[in-house]
Amino acid sequence: MLCTDLQHLYDLFLSTVHMLIDRCVPVKYISLGPHDPAYVTPLVKMLLKKRYKLRRKGRNVEADALALRINQIITQTRSNQYSKMTEACSKSHEG
């Protein structure tokens, strides 16, 4: 009996937290087009827009720091993609 009561309270807590998150946390929608390269993730695209806005405002130091972060993310994404490709190629050539 106690176990089901705790489970019910926990489920109620989770549903309340999810409702509050949905109601209070802003959501950004990022559109990826068919011509966007595979390494342009929604995060990268959002950061590129932010960098563009900073440059237009003349805040080049902040834009340069953001550009470094974008480059790191793209490099990491591409290396993950390439490692998956080499694993797939080596597996397909085996036995």
40-94 residue pLDDT tens: 989 999 999 999 999 999 999 999 999 999 999 999 988 888 887 766 666 555 5
**Residue 1: pLDDT band with limits 50, 70, 90:** low
Does this model's pTM top 0.85? Answer: no
In 3-90, DSSP assigns E strands to none
25-44 residue pLDDT tens: 888 888 888 998 888 989 99
- 3-class secondary-structure state, position 21: helix
95: pLDDT strictly greater than 70: no
DSSP 94: -
The token duo for 48 is: 């590129």
